[in-house]
Structure 1
Amino acid sequence: MSVGQDPAHQSAPVNDDPVSRAENARLRAEARLAGTIADFFQDDDARLDDRTRGMLAHVLDAIIGAIESDIRRYAARMLTGNGSTTAAEAILKEGSNPGRVTERLTRAGLLRDEDLMDELIARVRHDLVAAALPIEVTEPDEASLLVRLAGVPDSIVASAASALLAAESRRRAANENGTAVGTDLPAELHHRLVWWIAAAVRTGLKTSSPASDRAITDAAQRCLAAHDEGERPDAVAMRLAAALDARPNELAAVLVEAIGDRRLSLFVAVLANAIGVAFDQVRAITLEPEGDRLWLALRAIDLDRSSIARIALALAEADPRRDIEAFADALDTIIAIPVAEARTSLAPLALHCDFRMALRALARTERR
């Protein structure tokens, strides 16, 4: 099953009792109607377009499948080594039906986790926009920005640029092939997802034993130990941005060229480094179709009119949700915003993420 699938299409437990089958059919019909009604009344700006929905399902299925496969294989290997071949075969056999773990997690509501879905939706939208950005080449034979940076004498910059090239290449291949090398998730979300998947693997066994439980636990811990958050493209991009440490008079050129080179991760990281805000926060404002907070961020680093216009035009070409005419009408107003005022308006983004979450929770409580 793919994420986002109608609950009515989830496989129900097999039961030959006609009464139970009729009741299951009724429940599926009710779930289908509830889902259809909810979709109809959903605001257009909150609804995922088909391409984003399909890629989100594609990415989530690949991530879950990769973790599940690692857990099953290592758990089976441990059980076989201990002489529990029957238990090992059971773990591997249950895994021969792809999608069951995703179904269990979906039915349990775990995949509705706001933090997980926020990260995955942002990642998918980021990758789709990056792939659709128009390429701007200054000289026909000039190498791309990252390739040039990978060849500079500064070994720290060159190493970070090479690492970003490799990380983005891995993610691009994973998106195209429906595979996953690691999860590319922040450590906390990876930790959460691994244990959910381990529990779903265990739940799928007809019989369990202390030996199989221990094998699944050890396999999950092995997945956690192997996760390197620092190899995520986002983290690598931030390392490169810090190594570059573009000066105020260099920022416009670097940001415009990063966009023109389809290196959206580098654009986000350089801007994040310049305004002192976390990567995920700048990625979020970069992907917002209205662009209001992005223009404030660009004004906060005193970006000029031409550079802001070039960035806005490129993003509008890559993201059909953006209204380039509305931006053109607002450009004079945007440029008139004082730098100090723009910086002040973005101050909440620089707060610690847990502090921001606590403030939002309190605000929701007070509105009730």
Structure 2
Amino acid sequence: MEIELWSVVAEPEALALAGPGATLLTGTDAAFAVGADTLVVIGRSDSDAAMVLSEPFPELVEQRLAGMLRPAVHAFARLPGGCLALGIARDTELSYRRGALHDIRLRFETPIPPDLLGQATPGLDWLDLAGHDPVGAMERFIAGWYAGIEPAGELPAVTGPAPLRAFHRAAAGRPEVYGRSCRIFAEPLPGHPDGLLTFGQEGDGVFTLLMESQGADPRVFYDGLSDRLLPERERLAGYLLQATLARAAMDGPLGGMAFVDRPQARRVIAPLRRVPLRPMRWPSLFTRCYAGPGMVVVIGEDDADWYEMYVGVRQPGLLRRLRKLGLDWESFTDG
């Protein structure tokens, strides 16, 4: 098992680096996994060159680090959205006071990028709701991803089905939530020949988004992607969640777009979780969403050999892993 430097993973995945049968322990604001030849430490770091852990320590941790054959120490910094991989400690320094272990200082070969420390990375609590409550998932995602952007003032009353009203409440008038690639209108518009309501439009006007005028969770259609109306696979609630994720990946200030082959796509999404909804029909005919702490990836399949991929992140450091994959980026912005 290998976790790339500066990647953000869940705590169980970090602790699993110690190997099968490892002993899991906790200290003051830290967690440990002690394996046969590996010790994993999850703590907090305010320095770009070292992590300092404070007493008291589990006895087994002290025994292993004070022994003649010290294990390799894999360190992770605990963030709000997961655990940041700091790599293997180059040096482990134990400090004693009055015969008792007072602190442990871990030093690293590669300084920790300052922009990664103390960052508030949005978590994945919303993803647990996606399969059975896509509206709740959408609301939580927007609240976390756009937490630093103030609402745009008091909103007028919005009509339409409950999922659409929930989207507008969560968006709170912020242009960043409405995006550019495919906008949701402030009000659904009548007048379509089939009695459908128009509630959005692709950024360049290639298609409009339609929905049934009746029902709590109406069906969604594209007008302009085909010579006839093209139904979306998910109804409005699921569509709005996936469209919100797609805008985060396609329209955000940090991220990129690339065409990737199947092995490259697998490497990109390996540490991520798939959103458990049926594929969207845009921007590709089979478009799936994946997410990790502070990251959204949208991968579309139109061709058997190549995929259209969009990546959005909340922190520049989250792009370091992708930069190392050698992808041929059409666009890439990391701050």
Q: Same fold (TM over 0.5)?
A: no
- Where relative contact order (Cα < 8 A, 6+ residues apart) is larger, the structure is 1
* Richer in helix (by share): 1
Normalising by the residue count of structure 1, what TM-score does the alignment of the two structures yield? 0.22
